[in-house]
Structure 1
Amino acid sequence: MRYIGESINRVDGIRKVTGALKYVDDIKLSRMLYAAVKRSPYPHAKLLKVDISKAEKLPGVKAVITGKDVANRVGLYLEDKTFLATDRIRYRGEGVAAVAAESKEIALAAIGLIEVEYEELPAVTNAVEGLKKDAPLVHPDMKEYKWGPIFFPEPGTNISNHYKIRKGDVEKGFAEAEFIVENEFFVPHIQHCPIETHSVIAQRDPDESLTIWSTCQSPYAVQKALSVAFNLPLNKVRVLSPAVGGGFGGKAGTTLEGIVIPLAMKTNGRPVKLTYTREDEFINSFVRQGLHATIKTGINKNGKIVAVKNTFIWDGGAYTEYGVNIVRAGGYASTGPYDVPNVWTDSICVYTNHPVGGPYRGFGMSEIHFAIEQNIDMLAKKLDINPVEIRRINGLRPGGKNATGQVVDVCGLQDCLEDVVKKLDWENSIKQSPSKPNRVVGRGISCAYKAPSMPNNVASSAIIKINDDGTAHLMVSAQDIGQGSDTVLTQIASEVLSIPPNRITIKTGDTDHTPYEWQTVASRITYCTGNAVIKACEDAKEQLLGLAQLKLGIEKDKLYLKDGYINSDTQPQKKIAINELALGLSLEDGSGIHGPIIGRGSFIPPGVKNTDKQTGQGEKPVAFWTYGCQGVEIEVDTETGKIEVLKVASSFDVGKIINPQLIEGQIEGGIIQGLGSAIFEELIISKGVVLNPNFVDYKIPTADDMPEMIISFIENEEPTGPFGARGVGEPCMVPTAPAIANAVNDALGIRIMSLPITPEKILRALKEK
């Protein structure tokens, strides 16, 4: 292979580092109006009256809307939300009205003139409490909602999805176990913290079509949601996402688009723009769901786990239109990457009066693995087994079965485990820092796995057109949100067509001009869109070879593409440049055939089927699994409780490396994001109020927190992947936090059961010890 496996420079790199790449907030259109939103001061309340009359009279105000202008419910998996509150407030900060004005200042002044009457209601501020029969209902009209067949809401309760795993006979397993251990863990809400906050511009044209410029990961998903919300045909809704300055899942669904559009419908063709402040971003965009996890484990004295009973209670927030699928993913992955014969899991999504929970890098796996991987270490300690050995005993291998009963054919978990053990020099651990007596060294290890968390029939597509100078344009709607997909997809096209990457230009993110893509989520783009690109390029290649066969008089199975030419195996002296056939074949009599070379390709993951509704069992519920392992070395200051992560060794089975430089960058980013969730990050919410919606009070890692990173890969090719590749962008974050938690225990003999692992928690645990 010539281009696959090479560290090709990012195709968007120059535009990004020079500032030439334009993001939505950089766009300035003629006669632009600016929007602001009136938001609720209560986490739960009846909305009695919204008086907009004074705001409408303010000079410079061009449009004012309320919930009646956006009354249709929308949602990707569960249609439970409106873009502005209609009759009830469900979280503090929810929008109740919006204004478009000549300037931001006028818009904000107008918001202050809107008068709202509320009747405050008791709030649900704890997911466990929200399960109780006497808990206030966040969505009393849930029975009227629509949802997909793989989700199981329970109207009349706060449960928006209850996903079950019933594998084997769990009670029999516990009866046969020699030890039974039960542990509880808690993971709080955290924020995505992209550099770029959400921003949207909407404009209505005279023919009543809408153009939306949005900082979104998934233009087609946004287009579909807006079509439903405003009763518009899809051909009248154009969504463009020119560039995305970080997403991590927070820009996967719809947020402020549905607020700006009804304003634009009232402004006679003038575009309307709304850009979130950082505080808006913290409160009014997706947050990662909270999790209360209880794990009961039956194990034998030889270290073999024979039964697991999990209860995962997810704090889904005010709306769970996206969150219900996180809960499903947490359910079918609920044992972690371990072969357990008897499993009982209840994964339950609960409405609360907290900010809206949604997709976040790892999609539930980081949360459940924090519990699962600490639990594994706690079992090892009880049996006096090395933490590595217990993972060797129970970790999945080819031929093993996961929680859904799926037989695992390709699995490099054990290879990754041994790789990390070697890289971290696990057997020669150091307990005390020789130069700093008050600092204790600890090591921890964690395994992980993740699958693309998506419905079974989601599609990707690609188009490639060959230009008449032999260059090409590749068109997809997969969004490069920093992960490097533009470069990887270009490399894949280069490999198939033997055209250098610098002669292929990729175009993305325009529902009018780039082909369908379900969403840029789930670590699926290299796999799904990569396969679509291969098919599109193979289609173009077949057309080229067919024309070359006529031109050269050589059967096309004897022809191949190389360096911009179509060459012959049997007659090397005969060849023809690709550009000579780009617009079709000209014949000697002056006629022509075929016309321009345009290749198309589409892809749906093969053989993926729903699991059983009652048991969660299924032979292939997901497209593939990505396995990996991370080990960490930390220092803990026993006087201050501060953790310093010194070293991280990481190994993942990625199937096939497309671009080494980019995949290393993905792993590095995942490690740092995982480190942040482990020791810094928590959205502090008291009685429904977010207390730290800014970077002064909400801490994320900086350059000073970067550890030494030893990154390596295993390549067991994925049979259905492009050149054998599978996704790793999300899985690489999953094991970091539990590995750090296990290292804290190794260093100090204490166990922190909730995130983040702060100095205060460490000092408190040391004092209790």
Structure 2
Amino acid sequence: MRAVGESLQRVDAIKKVTGQAQYVDDIIMPRMLYAQVKRSPYPHARILRIDTSKAEALPGVRSVITGDCYTKRCGLYLEDKNFLAVGTAKYRGEAVAAVAAETPEIADEAVELIEVEYEQLPAVTNAVEGMKPDAPLIHPDLHTYKVAPIFHPVPHTNISHHYKLRKGDVDKAFEACDVVTENTYYIPHVQHVPLEPHCAVAQYDLDGKVTVWGSIQSPYAVRQALSAAFDIPLNKLRVISPYVGGGFGAKAGTTLEGIIIPLARRNRGRPVKLNYSREDEFENSYVRQGLHCRIKTGINRDGKIQAVKNEFVWDGGAYTEYGVNITKAGGWASAGPYDIPNVWTDSYCVYTNHPVGGPYRGFGMCEIHFAIEQNIDEVALKIGMDPAQVRRINGLRPGGVTGTGEVMEVSGFHDCLEQVLEDIEYDKKPVDPSPTRKRGKGVAAGWKSPSQPTNAGSSAIIRMNEDGTFILMTSGQEIGQGSETALTQIAAETLDVDPALISCRFGDTDHTPYEWQTVASRTTYCAGNAIKLACEDLKNKILDLAQIKLGAYKRDLEFRDGFVAHKLYPDRKVPLSDFALGLSFPDGSGVGGPAIGVGCFTLENNLNVDHDTGMGSHPAAFWTIGCNGAEVEVDTQTGHIKVLKMVSCFDAGKVINPLTYTCQSEGAMVQSLGTALFEELKLKDGKVLNKSFVDYKIPTADDVPELVVKYVEHPEPTGPYGARGVGEPLMVPGAPAIANAVYQAIGVRFRRMPITPDDVLKALREQQENEKG
């Protein structure tokens, strides 16, 4: 029975549309306590004194904690983070104390009674300035922090990681190039704005067992971080993540969980719950890092790019325990999906007194490609060549070499480009509907790989019930992306059964098997491979029994539509359910046992790059490549930009479910439209000025253009049924495609996002003034 490649209905659809799906905030438990947090009003300040006596005396308050109670740092890649500020508050809004009370109202009142005395310190609010030798140090003890060996903080500075890429000889190449350009770009912070704010519940049992329920993308990674932070043995720490109402990276690491665990420890047996408000989400959840970008390009008149030199300065915020990996990912992908012989990149992660920068859909690729893909158009203009042709000439082909020196075995770049050019009708010049309404078209390419270590493993268990149905157990988390459906289809395809016979369980570290993280567009690939192996393990065990029952060689038997059948004599078949508990014989003996399959997958050929050069033969499991196109209309009187059409085509390897792929692609295009035209976390002196939907705008239904989704399938040799991850890469080229279309419409290049009506009007006035004088 075919399952992979079919547009099956999402297996979680009915639960979600009827409201039956349970999220963390739906959890109500007896004797629950409610937490609230006291936060710093300053971006950078020394904490001189905290007086909690009035809060502790308030009736209904059960516990009050401060950072002095829990001074151990933690972090996934760089251990630089405290859940409550210790010594200094490093961003405006950082938690400095927390309370647990009988009601949310009492908790709110108690927080107001906590008195904190601060000494304000100079703040770093610009990453470029923060790199300078005389900049105030946000983490003066950085040189003592524990860090993963692939990351390289610069001691006694604000640079928490410096990634270097050195391929070829860029200086020599620039000297020989016909044209050399240099352009700068800026990408501001944005917020993930998932529909579900962060929420968590922690309960500390009398026997020392701790259970955390959270809106969490990566239960096992969170368990590891919390275990290290609070010295809890892993067998005494259970993390449960039910359905997650959107993550986009914001729920990949630890946030509020580390605040409620110590409160729960002081109130054993009583669950403690903490909800983030929407305002908390904007300031105290992860944000997407800001990026200052400079690109120097050498190109010849024939359109061949000979050299690029990049400088990426990432605004990592107050803690960069996750952000250092984004800096690395941006560095090794810095050449874009192009075959360029000489590449030099410096990618810096810099501490600032801004909200904490963390993973966001695209993991740095959206940011760098906003620059890379506009730069392609700009250098094309310099040599008088169409930008699409420059992409044709330089795009990676099979056998091409990436910026890190990796040979691309598979690449659908050119197929995707040509499909997008066709769908956007690139060769057909758009017609302006009026003298004041200008239209333009643009294209952009993009790529992404999973930034994960070799030991970022996946495991899966599949059990067969007595009636021939199955329970699939995985910790590849369903966060709205459709993984529960795709993973079920992979299992059904491998077992040759109806997907309706398989139920999925996920997100419970005591009961579902290990999964590194649900990040990096790796779930279909990594968890999918583990599930395929688990199903093959189950098949092999059942076939061992079937050859006894059917009196046939194992090699002559196969799974077929819910049966074990003989390949040559199809009428000789037995239902799979006959093997659910093994085989029993007339004399009372038996063989086998309950049918269960186990699969484990790891990236066996993932190799670290060289620290000094960034070069490596196989640093990534795979690369997902594709293109976007956009058509826009710009009202030159109001500055309003309307996106009329967006098209997308990516090389997915193999599309597991075309319907969910289309939904992912459409969501990615709309999300990229939001960052291109609307979204910016406005910061002034470290303060977030627009921390609500009143002032922070995201696209609505009125902003959604015509969306065209296509894909090509060049199988990934190591992927399950040829699949590779697509969820994040689909968003990467959207914003630069829109920016390139705006340029074609009005002849103005915008080197920062978002492109607002005010920006357009200002640029048009300057354009007119330059033409006059």
Shorter-chain TM band: over 0.9
Residue aligning to 1:187: 187
Report the AA paired with residue 576 of structure 1: V
Residue aligning to 2:250: 250
Deviation, structure 1 residue 570: 2.7
Aligned equivalents of 1:570, 1:653: Cα separation in 2: 38
Residue aligning to 1:403: 403
Q: Is the 8 A contact 1:126 1:315 kept in 2?
A: yes
Report the AA paired with residue 252 of structure 2: A
Aligned equivalents of 2:466, 2:496: Cα separation in 1: 16
Residue aligning to 1:330: 330
Residue aligning to 1:647: 645
Residue aligning to 1:606: 604
Structure 2 counterpart SS, 1:173? helix
**2:634 aligned with 1:624:** no
* 1:553-592 matches, cutoff 5 A: 553-592=551-590
CA deviation string 1:393-434 (max 9, x = no partner): 11111111111010111000011000111111111121412x
Aligned equivalents of 2:396, 2:143: Cα separation in 1: 40
CA deviation string 1:265-293 (max 9, x = no partner): 11131100000000000000000000000
Deviation, structure 1 residue 569: 1.3
* 1:710-729 matches, cutoff 5 A: 710-729=708-727
Report the AA paired with residue 492 of structure 1: I
* 1:357-368 matches, cutoff 5 A: 357-368=357-368
Residue aligning to 2:49: 49
Report the AA paired with residue 86 of structure 1: V
Report the AA paired with residue 230 of structure 1: F
RMSD: 0.7
Structure 1 counterpart SS, 2:653? coil
Residue aligning to 1:233: 233
Deviation, structure 1 residue 457: 2.1
Aligned equivalents of 2:341, 2:160: Cα separation in 1: 29
Report the AA paired with residue 268 of structure 2: N
Structure 2 counterpart SS, 1:427? coil
Residue aligning to 2:486: 488
CA deviation string 1:494-549 (max 9, x = no partner): 01112211111000000000000000000000000000000000000001100000
Moved more, 572-581 or 543-552: 572-581
Deviation, structure 1 residue 70: 2.4
Q: Is the 8 A contact 1:70 1:258 kept in 2?
A: no
* 1:80-119 matches, cutoff 5 A: 80-119=80-119
Residue aligning to 1:669: 667
Residue aligning to 2:771: none
CA deviation string 1:570-590 (max 9, x = no partner): 333321111111011111212
Give unpaired runs (5+ residues) of structure 2.
768-773
Aligned equivalents of 1:506, 1:538: Cα separation in 2: 17
- Runs (4 or more) in structure 1 with deviation over 4 Å come to none
Aligned equivalents of 2:332, 2:120: Cα separation in 1: 38
Q: Is the 8 A contact 1:83 1:258 kept in 2?
A: yes
Aligned equivalents of 1:199, 1:70: Cα separation in 2: 21
Residue aligning to 2:504: 506
Residue aligning to 2:676: 678
Structure 2 counterpart SS, 1:375? helix
Aligned equivalents of 2:169, 2:383: Cα separation in 1: 24
TM-score between both structures, scaled by the size of structure 2: 0.99
Aligned equivalents of 1:48, 1:585: Cα separation in 2: 72
CA deviation string 1:322-362 (max 9, x = no partner): 00000000000001111111111000000000000000000
Residue aligning to 1:391: 391
* 1:214-293 matches, cutoff 5 A: 214-293=214-293
Aligned equivalents of 1:250, 1:8: Cα separation in 2: 28
Report the AA paired with residue 590 of structure 1: G
Residue aligning to 1:141: 141
Aligned equivalents of 1:81, 1:176: Cα separation in 2: 47
Residue aligning to 2:379: 379
CA deviation string 1:178-232 (max 9, x = no partner): 1110000000000000000000000011111100000000000000000001011
Report the AA paired with residue 278 of structure 2: R
Aligned equivalents of 1:573, 1:357: Cα separation in 2: 61
Residue aligning to 1:471: 469
Structure 1 counterpart SS, 2:311? strand
Deviation, structure 1 residue 50: 1.0
Report the AA paired with residue 682 of structure 1: E
- The counterpart of 2:437, out of the listed 439, 442, 461, is 439
Aligned equivalents of 1:77, 1:486: Cα separation in 2: 28
Structure 1 counterpart SS, 2:83? coil
- The counterpart of 2:690, out of the listed 681, 689, 692, is 692
Deviation, structure 1 residue 481: 0.6
Report the AA paired with residue 260 of structure 2: V
Deviation, structure 1 residue 23: 0.3
Residue aligning to 1:310: 310
Moved more, 152-161 or 451-460: 451-460
Structure 2 counterpart SS, 1:280? helix
**2:762 aligned with 1:764:** yes
Deviation, structure 1 residue 42: 0.3
Paired residues, what number? 767
Q: Is the 8 A contact 1:431 1:747 kept in 2?
A: no
Residue aligning to 1:344: 344
Aligned equivalents of 1:151, 1:414: Cα separation in 2: 34
* 1:714-753 matches, cutoff 5 A: 714-753=712-751
Residue aligning to 2:120: 120
Report the AA paired with residue 153 of structure 2: P
Give unpaired runs (5+ residues) of structure 1.
none
Q: Is the 8 A contact 2:605 2:618 kept in 1?
A: yes
Q: Is the 8 A contact 1:24 1:200 kept in 2?
A: yes
Deviation, structure 1 residue 456: 2.3
Residue aligning to 1:542: 540
CA deviation string 1:558-614 (max 9, x = no partner): 111112110001333321111111011111212111110110001012311000110
Aligned equivalents of 1:28, 1:742: Cα separation in 2: 50
Aligned equivalents of 1:637, 1:571: Cα separation in 2: 71
Structure 2 counterpart SS, 1:3? coil
Aligned equivalents of 1:279, 1:149: Cα separation in 2: 36
Q: Is the 8 A contact 2:203 2:268 kept in 1?
A: no
Structure 2 counterpart SS, 1:469? coil
Report the AA paired with residue 3 of structure 1: A
Structure 2 counterpart SS, 1:426? coil
Moved more, 300-309 or 713-722: 300-309
Deviation, structure 1 residue 466: 0.4
Identity %: 62
Q: Is the 8 A contact 1:137 1:157 kept in 2?
A: yes
Moved more, 567-576 or 418-427: 567-576
Structure 2 counterpart SS, 1:477? coil
Residue aligning to 1:15: 15
Q: Is the 8 A contact 1:471 1:499 kept in 2?
A: no
Q: Is the 8 A contact 2:610 2:616 kept in 1?
A: yes
Residue aligning to 2:207: 207
Aligned equivalents of 2:327, 2:225: Cα separation in 1: 21
Aligned equivalents of 2:102, 2:302: Cα separation in 1: 72
CA deviation string 1:281-307 (max 9, x = no partner): 000000000000000011111111111
Structure 1 counterpart SS, 2:427? helix
Aligned equivalents of 2:180, 2:562: Cα separation in 1: 65
Report the AA paired with residue 424 of structure 2: L
Q: Is the 8 A contact 1:456 1:622 kept in 2?
A: no
Residue aligning to 2:521: 523
Residue aligning to 1:24: 24
Aligned equivalents of 1:710, 1:217: Cα separation in 2: 29
Report the AA paired with residue 604 of structure 2: P
